[in-house]
Amino acid sequence: MITYLLRRLAGLIPMLLGITLVSFIVIHLAPGDPAQFMTSLNPKASEKARERFIKMYDLDKPIVEQYFLWLKKFVRFDFGDSFSQDRKPVLQKILERLPITIYLNVAALILIFIVAIPMGVLSAYYHNSILDRVVTVFVFVGFAVPSFWLALLCMYYFGVVLGVLPISGIYSYGFSELGLIGKMVDVIRHTLLPVILSVFGSLAALSRFTRNSMLDVLHEEYIEAAKARGIPERIIIFKHALRNALLPVITILGLSIPGLIGGSVIFETIFSIPGMGQLFYQSVMMRDYPVIMGILVIGAILTLVGNLLADIMYGMADPRIRYEKK
């Protein structure tokens, strides 16, 4: 297991280098015209902002040197200072916002895991029953509904018509006076809708995938063999089949992480949640390039970490992967 882990970790290095390269290319998309650095909030700062931008990314130096200087900043997570009024270091700004985004995404992943997989297993088990068809319809609807639209409808219904859930922010007025449990309930109430909605699309994909994976496994010979040995059906399904069917599901779960993180821009903006996604949106609107670059890079690294965790889970679930020689 340890050699497996080390191999996975070594594999991250070229990926990280690639991430620096792609983000370096993105910096070079910056407009050459200072006027385009203008933001509606601070129209006079355009020339100055451009100068700072050039200095920050060493754009006046030869291109190879530029890249190595960027690489040096990258490994130290030095993204410079924000262009906005507060001039805070970018890393600090991001770290302030990151916990909420991670909390939302981890909650979403857990929810996907505990809802989508049973849904997929059941619909494979009761293949082509009414239940399977209902799930299939749900899957198609889930794939097609634009989640931000669903968010609007839910905001309107739960927040305006029923008035049972708060529709913006993550704390109520007077949050600091609540006890620990009161605080937890308050945060959960505020984040219930965003989490459920960001899960919605992935739920469809993952339950579909689990179903198909399960159906494939149920055709395998070792399942027939287990049946022939008279092992109870329940044990075959949940012990023999499920474990093997889940393997590709873990990979897909890992692959859905960038989608979830990317989606946080939309949900945090809609529900005014002060996380990294909202910061990203605000920075894009204000052309705060250092923050944009910082979040782009951190987002990619989070994905990388998520994929690594998925790989580790895969290795734990499947001994063949662990001992495979390469």
Residues that bind other proteins (CB under 8 A): 14-15, 18-19, 21-22, 26-27, 29-31, 36, 126-128, 140-141, 143-146, 148-149, 152-153, 155-156, 160, 212, 215, 218, 227, 233, 255, 258-259, 261-263, 265-266, 269-270, 280-281, 283-285, 287, 289, 292-293, 295-296, 299-300, 303-304, 307
User: At its nearest, how many Å lie between other proteins and the CB of residue 292?
Assistant: 5
Give the list of residues 6+ apart from residue 101 with CB closer than 8 angstroms, or none: 261, 264, 268, 275, 276, 277
CB 198 within 8 A of CB 263: yes
Choice between 3 and 36, CB closer to other proteins: 36
Based on CB atoms, which residue is closest to other proteins, 242 or 266? 266
Report CA-CA distances (Å) from 106 to 11, 25, 146, 269.
24, 31, 22, 18
CB nearer to other proteins: pick between 207 and 269: 269
Which secondary-structure segment (H or E) carries 252?
A: helix 242-255
Closest approach, Cβ 177 to other proteins, in A, equals 29
Q: Is 58 left (phi over 0), alpha (psi -120 to 50) or beta?
A: left
Shortest distance, CB of residue 319 to other proteins, whole angstroms?
25
* Assigned token pair, 110: 């857990």
For 146, other C-beta atoms within 10 Å of its C-beta total: 10
Smallest separation, CB 153 to other proteins (Å) = 7
Shortest approach of other proteins to residue 9 CB, angstroms?
15
| Residue 308 or 313 with smaller CB distance to other proteins | 308
CB of 257 to other proteins, least distance (A): 8
The secondary structure element, H or E, covering residue 244 is helix 242-255
CB of 314 to other proteins, least distance (A): 16
Closest approach of other proteins to the CB of residue 88, in Å: 19
The pair phi, psi for residue 89, each rounded to 5°, is: -60, 140
State phi, psi for 151 to the nearest 5 degrees. Answer: -60, -40
Q: Please name which of 113, 274, 102, 268 lies closest in space to residue 193, comparing C-alpha atoms.
A: 268
Question: What are the beta bridge partners of residue 81?
Answer: 89
Q: Which is nearer to other proteins, 163 or 182 (CB)?
A: 163
Q: How many CB atoms lie within 10 A of CB 60?
A: 9
For other proteins, the closer CB: 2 or 149: 149
In this complex, which beta carbon is closest to other proteins, that of residue 146 or of residue 182?
146
Please report the sign of the dihedral spanned by the C-alpha atoms of residue 157, residue 162, residue 168, residue 170. negative
- Specify the residue, 187 or 296, whose C-beta has the smaller distance to other proteins: 296
